[in-house]
Amino acid sequence: MRAAFVALLALLFWGAAAAPAHADPGDIALRAARIFDGTSDRVVAGGVVLIRNGKIAAVGPRVAVPADAQVIDLGDATLLPGFIDAHVHLGGESSQDWNKDLVDGLRRTVPEATLRAASFARKTLRAGFTTVRNVGSSDFIDIGLRNGIEAGYVEGPRILAAGSALGARGGHCDGTGFPYGLFGAESGLKDGIASGADGFRDAVRFNHKYGADVIKICATGGVLSLGDDIDTPQLTDAEMRAIVDEAHRLRRKVAAHAHGDSGARAAVTAGVDSIEHGTFLTRATFELMKQRGTYLVPTLLAYEGINPDVRKMPPELTKKARAAIAGRAASMKLAITLGIKIALGTDAAVTPHGGNAREFGLMVRYGLTPAAALRAGTAAAADLLGIADQAGTLAAGKVADVVAVPGNPLDDISATERVFFVMKGGAVVRNDPPRPAKR
């Protein structure tokens, strides 16, 4: 009886997941004044992206358009690969009042939080981000949202979900700052809190059991958590080695939240795939990252969201926020100088969802060329996420994730903030009149 029930569930699940969200519209030809395909430092003047059965069939200035194809002419615009954000938290969104956010979060039910997350997912997709990596969520909301989007229940980007971020008792990933016993029993595996190498190995397995695509760890303290220093290591070397070994054995990558240098270096030594934030990293740590091919996801936009001049926070958080803001420029510039692999991530939730494209401009402000910034949010992010064979560039055989921005983003990177056309998997999500640049 149990076996039959499980078989029925599997049939229902896979049937729903495999069902197309839209009927096949036939060939679609996207035409614009220029194309940035994610593979070079330049745009190609004129051209077409031909879409067939949800995938890119051909790209270039001399693509033959079938007579029966639907042609969408986007005019003086640039076609680009769908943007990818490697660091979001769709399960929440901060205001300018930390204490109010805390109370509101405690009062919010899981179904309400899930519906709220779905609204953030829609904003993110319509901003041109067709794929995101959600690096931490309570109650496995990100995994449920991922499944709901895949089944066509709600509109949103493709999600690689982490489930619970893994961390030490009393650390950045733990719920600190409250009196003992206020919320009953201490949190455990469901909330990503463990201890010892075996405990963290089990925590990886627990997240994997419930559908995690990626493993997120808190290797150091953080800005918006009470009771920890921003730059101190929070996991032992043995714990991090166990996490990475188990995750990689299960074919899952590991993203490590790390502001402080020693914690980040230990995470890189353990074999994590990316360092998130990297605020106070030294040349020695960056050189180790380059040697190992470890990505930096600098989340420059997050530092805008923790500015204590505009956000009300407890004094202990204000002090950490000012230190982090002061450290970001030097770290980013050193990473660029040393040729560290960089992928775009925003930490959206710390700042409003849907404003993710502001990260492109910040990357350029801190030293990347516009083309390198665009690749960080397309081809490089796809490589980090392990989906470069499916997304990140405009090339034949890739999933048809395409966005259009007015003008030429190599001349004005802020054009990425004015996405007016979005296609995900061959389906048109948005096709609005282009918005002019603000004067």
Distance CA 113, CA 90 (A): 10
And the tokens for 140? Answer: 């496995």
What is the amino acid identity at position 62? Answer: R
Q: Which of 84, 134, 83 is nearest to 384 (CA)?
A: 84
Question: For domain 20-81+393-431, which CATH number applies: 2.60.120.10, 2.40.170.20, 3.40.50.300, 2.30.40.10?
Answer: 2.30.40.10
Give the CA distances from residue 211 to residues 163, 204, 249, 258, 325, in Å, rounded to whole numbers and listed in that order: 8, 11, 15, 24, 35
Q: 337 exposed, middle or buried (CB, 10 Å; 0-12, 13-18, 19+)?
A: exposed
pLDDT of residue 218: 97
pLDDT lower than 70: segments of the chain:
1-25, 187-189, 435-439
- Report strand pairing: 167-168 vs 193-194: parallel
pLDDT of residue 436: 63
What is the amino acid identity at position 32? Answer: A
pLDDT of residue 2: 41
Cα atoms in the Cβ-side hemisphere of radius 13 Å centred on 85? 34
pLDDT of residue 401: 98
**What DSSP character marks residue 220?**
B
CB atoms within 10 A of CB 276: 28
Cα atoms in the Cβ-side hemisphere of radius 13 Å centred on 53? 3
Read off the pLDDT of residues 283-312 as tens digits, 9 standing for 90 and up. Answer: 999 999 999 999 999 999 999 999 999 999
pLDDT of residue 435: 67
Read off the pLDDT of residues 86-141 as tens digits, 9 standing for 90 and up. Answer: 999 999 999 999 889 889 998 999 999 999 999 999 999 999 999 999 999 999 99
Domain boundaries, the chain: 20-81+393-431, 83-385
DSSP line for 88-152? E-TT----SBHHHHHHHHHH--HHHHHHHHHHHHHHHHHTTEEEEEE---GGGHHHHHHHHHHTT
Distance CA 369, CA 396 (A): 26
- In the beta sheet, which residues pair with residue 52? 55
Sheet holding 44-45, edge to edge: 44-45, 34-35, 77-81, 402-406, 421-424, 427-431
pTM of the model: 0.92
Cα radius of gyration rounded to whole Å, the chain: 22
What CATH number has the domain spanning 83-385?
Answer: 3.20.20.140
380 sits in which H/E element: helix 379-385
Q: How many helices (H) and strands (E) does the chain have?
A: 13, 19
